[in-house]
């Protein structure tokens, strides 16, 4: 496995950034209530705020158009609305969570449309109306000698908080639910198609995934600490448009 490092090509930098947008500052473990960690409690946010507390925008210098994220009220509940028009950007939050203690992630989402040219196997189709990333910290005790050297080189380029691996839960456009595939940019990100197609458009869907079990299945090893969570709606590769809504994101013990 190799780290993707930037070249002089803009497209090459775009590929690296698509994977490495989860470069977050170290986060503190969050206070828990009733055996859970409230990673994104959007429903408690104020509509007067531009973004929910502790969430930061992530944009790419090589991409002119950014997805618009805002807090809105849907059916009496405050959620995040994402509007993407041939654009790409995300919202991220740094965390430190032990997936052995809080293995389950729960969230709600809704999409207005899927993408005609979306394709999980192709770089020019690597766009999704909605996706959630979970990044994992680098664990030097589990890494081999070459991986440690590569990681040291990546830190010099990208900074001290390069994630080791990541899981991406996606609302696919043309791939069946249950598909598990490497991100076309890097084998360090595994994508799980949780919803797909147009049957459930404009309907809120509640999701639950065992992050610990998914990581084991994807990478064949025990996961390290969760280092961050992010949401992203992007349509820059396919040159299409999408609208999505994201509800609360919570990690729980079961």
The pLDDT, as a whole number, for residue 137 is 86
Helical segments of the chain, H only: 10-20, 145-158, 211-219
Output phi, psi for 178, to 5 deg.
100, -10
Q: How far is CA 17 from the centre of its chain?
A: 13
The pLDDT, as a whole number, for residue 64 is 82
Mode of pairing for the β-strands spanning 56-58 and 241-252: unpaired
The pLDDT, as a whole number, for residue 19 is 42
27 in a structural domain:
yes
What secondary structure letter does DSSP report for 69? E
Could you state, in chain order, the average pLDDT of each consecutive group of 10 residues for the chain (254 residues)?
33 40 46 80 94 87 87 96 95 94 98 95 94 84 57 50 80 94 89 95 98 96 92 95 98 94
3 in a structural domain:
no
100 in a structural domain:
yes
Which CATH number fits the domain that encloses residue 185?
2.60.120.260
Output phi, psi for 171, to 5 deg.
-95, 100
33 in a structural domain:
yes
2 in a structural domain:
no
Euclidean distance between CA atoms 10 and 48, whole angstroms: 37
Q: Which residue has tokens 């470069």?
A: 23
5 in a structural domain:
no
1 in a structural domain:
no
Structural domains in the chain (count): 1
Euclidean distance between CA atoms 223 and 156, whole angstroms: 24
Q: Please enumerate in sequence order all residues whose Cβ is within 8 A of that of 59, keeping only pairs 6 or more positions apart, or say none.
A: 66, 89
Mode of pairing for the β-strands spanning 128-136 and 56-58: unpaired
The pLDDT, as a whole number, for residue 9 is 33
76 in a structural domain:
yes
Residues 134-148 as b/e (b if ≥16 CB within 10 A, e otherwise) read bbbbbeeeeeeeebe
- Domain encompassing residue 137: 10-252
């Amino acid at each position: 496995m190799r780290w993707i490092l930037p070249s002089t090509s803009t497209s090459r930098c775009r590929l690296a950034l698509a994977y490495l947008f989860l470069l977050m500052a170290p986060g503190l473990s969050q206070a828990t209530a009733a055996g859970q960690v409230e990673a994104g409690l959007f429903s408690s946010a104020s509509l007067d705020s531009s973004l929910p507390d502790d969430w930061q925008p992530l944009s790419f210098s090589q991409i002119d158009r950014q997805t618009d994220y805002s807090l809105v009220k849907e059916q009496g509940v405050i959620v995040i609305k994402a509007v993407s028009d041939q654009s790409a950007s995300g919202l991220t939050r740094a965390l430190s969570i032990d997936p052995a203690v809080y293995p389950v992630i729960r969230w709600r989402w809704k999409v207005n449309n899927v993408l005609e040219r979306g394709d999980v196997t192709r770089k020019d189709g690597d766009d999704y109306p909605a996706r959630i990333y979970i990044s994992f910290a680098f664990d030097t005790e589990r890494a081999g000698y070459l991986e440690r050297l590569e990681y040291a080189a990546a830190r010099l380029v990208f900074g001290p908080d390069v994630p080791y691996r990541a899981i991406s839960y996606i609302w696919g456009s043309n791939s069946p639910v249950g598909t598990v595939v490497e991100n076309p940019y890097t084998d360090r990100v595994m994508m799980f198609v949780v919803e797909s197609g147009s049957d459930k458009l404009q309907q809120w869907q509640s999701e639950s995934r065992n992050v610990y079990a998914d990581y084991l299945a994807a990478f064949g090893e025990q996961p390290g600490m969760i280092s961050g969570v992010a949401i992203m709606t992007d349509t820059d590769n396919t040159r299409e448009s999408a609208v999505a809504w994201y509800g609360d994101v919570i990690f729980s013990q079961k």
